[in-house]
C-alpha cells in the first residue's frame, strides 16, 4: 500500500512511518519542512504542502492526516487560533486535493481527539455519544466535518479520535514526567475525572488496522480501560517509585495552561466500541505496563 502521511515527523507519525515501512508499505510524507522531515524519518520521499496537488495523489492508496499545531502548552488567543487554523486549513487542503485527483485514494484517515465529547462526567462515551459544547469539541466537529467531505469522492473516511497517547518522546506524558520524577505530582483538580489513554504501539496498530479493514466513521483510539486521574497519577508514581500526593488545584492549572486546563480537568470516560466490534485487540491494555514503556 502507498500511504500519503501528514504530520509524519510528529510523535505518532514517526512511529507509524517506521511500522508502515517495516511492513513493506511505501510512505510519502507531507511536511512544512521537508528537509528536516527527511532527517527525522530517514526517508527521501517528502513533499512540501505547497506541492500537494491533485496530480501528486496518483498512485496513492491511502491518506493518513495527522498534522496540526501541538495542543500542549498554555492556550491563549494566539495558540487557540494556531491550533484551529492548522487543522482546518490542513484538512481542507487534503480534501481539495482528493476532490481534484483523477485517481482517488480509497481511504482517508484523519486525526481527531476525544476532546470531541467535551466533559462527560460519569457517563461512558462511545462513538455514538454526542459532541461536547466547549472550544475543543467545536473544533473537532468542524475538523471532522471537513474530513468527511472526502466521502463524496468515494473515499472511505475514518475519524481517529485519539485519547491521551502514552509513549517515549512525545505526547502529554513527556510534560508530566519531569515533575513526577521530582515527586511533585498528584491529583489535578479533584482527580475524580476520567482519563482515557492508549499506548503508542496500540495507537499505531489501530491506525494500521483502520487502513487495512473496512472500518469507517468515528473510531475511538483508546485502551478499553479508562481510569480516574488521581489513580493515573498514583500509577505513574508507582512506576517511577516516587510519591504522587501533591494536588494541583483547578485555578492553578487554569493560570498555567489557560483554556487547555479544561481539557485536563474534563472527565472523559471513553471506550473503544468501534475497534472492539471490528475485532481489534490491544497489546497493552494495562496502564501500568503502558507507563512503564513510556518513562
Ligand X SMILES: NC(=O)c1ccc[n+]([C@@H]2O[C@H](COP(=O)([O-])OP(=O)(O)OC[C@H]3O[C@@H](n4cnc5c(N)ncnc54)[C@H](OP(=O)(O)O)[C@@H]3O)[C@@H](O)[C@H]2O)c1
Which residues here bind ligand X, judged by CB under 6 A?
Answer: 7, 9-13, 31-33, 37, 66-71, 82, 86, 90, 111, 113, 162, 164-165, 170-172
For residues 39 and 30, the answer to whether their CB atoms sit within 8 Å is no
Task: Give 37 or 148: the residue with its C-beta nearer to ligand X.
Answer: 37
Q: Measured from the CB atom, is 67 or 97 closer to ligand X?
A: 67
- CA angle 59/61/63 to nearest 5° reads 115
Shortest reach from residue 93's CB to ligand X, in Å: 10
In the bound state with ligand X, the residue whose beta carbon lies nearer, of 12 and 180, is: 12
Residue 38: CB minimum distance to ligand X, A: 10
Q: Which is nearer to ligand X, 90 or 158 (CB)?
A: 90
Identify which of residues 119 and 183 has a Cβ nearer to ligand X in the complex: 119
Supply the minimum distance, in Å, between the C-beta of residue 158 and ligand X: 13
The smaller minimum CB distance to ligand X, of residues 93 and 248, is found at: 93
Write down the least CB distance from residue 243 to ligand X, Å. 25
Q: Is the separation of the CB atoms in 159 and 189 below 8 Å?
A: no
Inter-CA distances, 45 with 26, 73, 225, 251, Å: 9, 31, 38, 46
What would the DSSP string read from start to end of 61-90? Answer: -EEEE-------S-B-HHHHHHHHHHHHHH
Task: Compute the chain's Rg from CA coordinates.
Answer: 19
Q: Are 1 and 25 in contact (CB under 8 A)?
A: yes
Least distance from ligand X to the Cβ atom of residue 64, Å: 10
Q: CB of 233: closest distance to ligand X in angstroms? A: 17
User: CB nearest ligand X: which residue?
Assistant: 10
Q: Shortest distance, CB of residue 10 to ligand X, whole angstroms?
A: 2
Alpha carbons 244 and 236: distance in angstroms, whole number: 8
Nearer to ligand X, 94 or 243 (CB): 94
Of the candidates 236, 249, 263, the one whose C-alpha atom is nearest the C-alpha of residue 179 is 236
- Nearer CB in complex with ligand X: 114/279: 114
C-alpha cell at 174: 513527556
Please, are residues 176 and 187 in contact by the beta-carbon 8 Å criterion? no
Question: Alpha helices of 74-226 — where are they, by DSSP H?
Answer: 77-100, 135-148, 171-181, 200-212
- Which of these, 86, 79, 270, 31, lies nearest to 162 by C-alpha position? 270
Around 172, how many Cα atoms within 13 Å sit in the side-chain half-sphere? 21
Least separation in angstroms between CB 269 and ligand X: 16
Amino acid at each position: 500500500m502507498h500511504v500519503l502521511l501528514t504530520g509524519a515527523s510528529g510523535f505518532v507519525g514517526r512511529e507509524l512511518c517506521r511500522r508502515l515501512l517495516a511492513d513493506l508499505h511505501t510512505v510519502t510524507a507531507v511536511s512544512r519542512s521537508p528537509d528536516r522531515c527527511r532527517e527525522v524519518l530517514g526517508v527521501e520521499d517528502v513533499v512540501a504542502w505547497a506541492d500537494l496537488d491533485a496530480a501528486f495523489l496518483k498512485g496513492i492508496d491511502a491518506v493518513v492526516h495527522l498534522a496540526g499545531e501541538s495542543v500542549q502548552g498554555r492556550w491563549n488567543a494566539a495558540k487557540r487560533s494556531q491550533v484551529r487554523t492548522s487543522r482546518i486549513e490542513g484538512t481542507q487542503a487534503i480534501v481539495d486535493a482528493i476532490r481534484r485527483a483523477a485517481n482517488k485514494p480509497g481511504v482517508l484517515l484523519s486525526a481527531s481527539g476525544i476532546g470531541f465529547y467535551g466533559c462527560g462526567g460519569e457517563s461512558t462515551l462511545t462513538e455514538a455519544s454526542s459532541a461536547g459544547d466547549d472550544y475543543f469539541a467545536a473544533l473537532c466537529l468542524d475538523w471532522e466535518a471537513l474530513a468527511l467531505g472526502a466521502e463524496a469522492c468515494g473515499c472511505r473516511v475514518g475519524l481517529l479520535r485519539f485519547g491521551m497517547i502514552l509513549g517515549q518522546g512525545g505526547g502529554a506524558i513527556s510534560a508530566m514526567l519531569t515533575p513526577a520524577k521530582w515527586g511533585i505530582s498528584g491529583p489535578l483538580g479533584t482527580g475524580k475525572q476520567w482519563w482515557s489513554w492508549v499506548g503508542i504501539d496500540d495507537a499505531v496498530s489501530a491506525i494500521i488496522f483502520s487502513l487495512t479493514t473496512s472500518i469507517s466513521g468515528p473510531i475511538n483510539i483508546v485502551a478499553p480501560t479508562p481510569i480516574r486521574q488521581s489513580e493515573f497519577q498514583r500509577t505513574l508514581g508507582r512506576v517511577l517509585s516516587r510519591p504522587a500526593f501533591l494536588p494541583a488545584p483547578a485555578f492553578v492549572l487554569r493560570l498555567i495552561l489557560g483554556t487547555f486546563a479544561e481539557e485536563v480537568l474534563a472527565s472523559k470516560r471513553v471506550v473503544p466500541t468501534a475497534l472492539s466490534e471490528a475485532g481489534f485487540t490491544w497489546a497493552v491494555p494495562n496502564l501500568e505496563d503502558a507507563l512503564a514503556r513510556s518513562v
